[in-house]
């Protein structure tokens, strides 16, 4: 959320890089698999293989992987009391740990994606202490605080949490959560407390985009739909994809910007503003630059144009 006035800065804290945290979770998952494999090998006489009745080391590893992943084909089964007790008291807790590690890794990746979106806002000139991150994950909150952002731990669907975040003072709110139903609830909460804020929300499935609009979202980005369109473009015009990616990466190369036209630009055509105009916003409608309705600019119009930001030059290896 971008605040119009400066809130208090939260204390900074040290954080673990996302890839390091993910690496640790992968190591834990591998360790659980190896430990479970050893347990099954020690009890191999208590298992029966439907193929040959004998449990080899490879069979034990196979049984371990399908058991921990909760797949379970039933071709290898524990038949003795000892083996069944081992599965109930040792293997089952390992299965829970394995699943929790995988879920935690997914949350880590989603959290990093949200942090990247906030970094885009910072690249657009929003000071770090004007941004508030609301997240139920304490690790995500600590990482955001380490980046200099104001943080509130809790769910964005809670009125009390969003009041603590002072969402009523927000100029703009980004709703980026991992479930579409949570995105709808969070948008409803924000719109109730901040009726005049710009609300940008993301959903995974296109069929849920209308729900977010009805809930009060100003704009909705469908992740799966956007990825599918880019893939389609890439098959025909790969260079177009690189330009689109450049436009999305704010602060370097080509950027899309929006502004209100100046008084001396009223009556001109869109390209008479001195910048490559791609669209005109008039009365809440976005019109392409070549639409006959916006051939002449009017007072109050907004133009969306392409601007070029110089890239930081990196010296080549061995260069002078």
123 by Cβ neighbours in 10 Å (0-12 / 13-18 / 19+) ranks as middle
Quick one: pLDDT at residue 251? 64
| pLDDT for res 12 | 37
**Ranges of the chain with pLDDT below 50:** 2-16, 123, 313-320
User: Which domains are delineated in the chain?
Assistant: 2-14+112-226 (3.40.50.720), 19-106 (1.10.287), 252-313 (3.30.70.1450)
Q: Rounded to an integer, what distance in angstroms lies between the CA atom of residue 55 and that of residue 33?
A: 17
Q: Which DSSP symbol is given to 47?
A: E
Return the pLDDT at 117: 53
Give pLDDT tens digits for 271-312: 888 889 999 999 888 999 888 888 899 999 999 998 887 655
Q: Cite the DSSP H helix spans in the chain.
A: 18-42, 57-68, 81-86, 92-123, 138-146, 159-164, 180-193, 209-215, 223-236, 238-248
Pairing of strands 198-203, 76-78: unpaired
């Amino acid at each position: 959320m971008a605040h119009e006035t400066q809130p208090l800065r939260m204390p900074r804290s040290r954080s673990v890089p996302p890839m390091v945290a993910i690496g640790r979770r992968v190591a834990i998952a591998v360790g659980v698999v190896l430990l479970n494999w050893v347990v099954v090998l020690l009890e191999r006489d208590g298992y029966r293989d439907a193929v040959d009745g004998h449990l080899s080391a490879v069979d034990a590893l196979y049984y371990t992987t399908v058991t921990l992943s909760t797949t379970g084909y039933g071709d290898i089964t524990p038949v003795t009391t000892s083996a069944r007790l081992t599965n109930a008291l040792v293997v089952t807790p390992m299965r829970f740990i394995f699943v929790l590690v995988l879920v935690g890794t997914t949350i880590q990746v989603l959290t990093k994606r949200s942090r990247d979106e906030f970094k885009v806002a910072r690249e657009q000139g929003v000071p770090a202490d004007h941004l508030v991150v609301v997240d139920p994950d304490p690790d995500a909150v600590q990482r955001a605080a380490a980046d200099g952002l104001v943080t509130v731990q809790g769910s964005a669907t809670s009125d009390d949490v969003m009041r603590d975040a002072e969402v009523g003072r927000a100029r703009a709110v980004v709703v980026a959560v991992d479930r579409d139903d949570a995105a709808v609830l969070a948008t409803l909460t924000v719109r109730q407390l901040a009726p005049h804020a710009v609300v940008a929300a993301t959903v995974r499935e296109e069929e849920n985009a209308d729900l977010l609009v009805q809930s009060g979202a100003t704009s909705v980005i469908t992740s799966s739909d956007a990825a599918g369109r880019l893939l389609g473009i890439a098959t025909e015009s790969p260079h177009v994809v690189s330009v689109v990616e450049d436009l999305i990466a704010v602060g370097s190369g080509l950027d899309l910007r929006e502004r209100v036209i100046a008084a001396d630009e009223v009556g001109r055509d869109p390209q008479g503003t001195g910048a490559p105009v791609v669209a005109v916003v008039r009365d809440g409608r976005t019109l392409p630059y070549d639409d006959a309705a916006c051939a002449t600019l009017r007072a109050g119009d907004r133009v969306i144009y392409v601007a070029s930001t110089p890239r930081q030059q990196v010296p080549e290896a061995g260069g002078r």
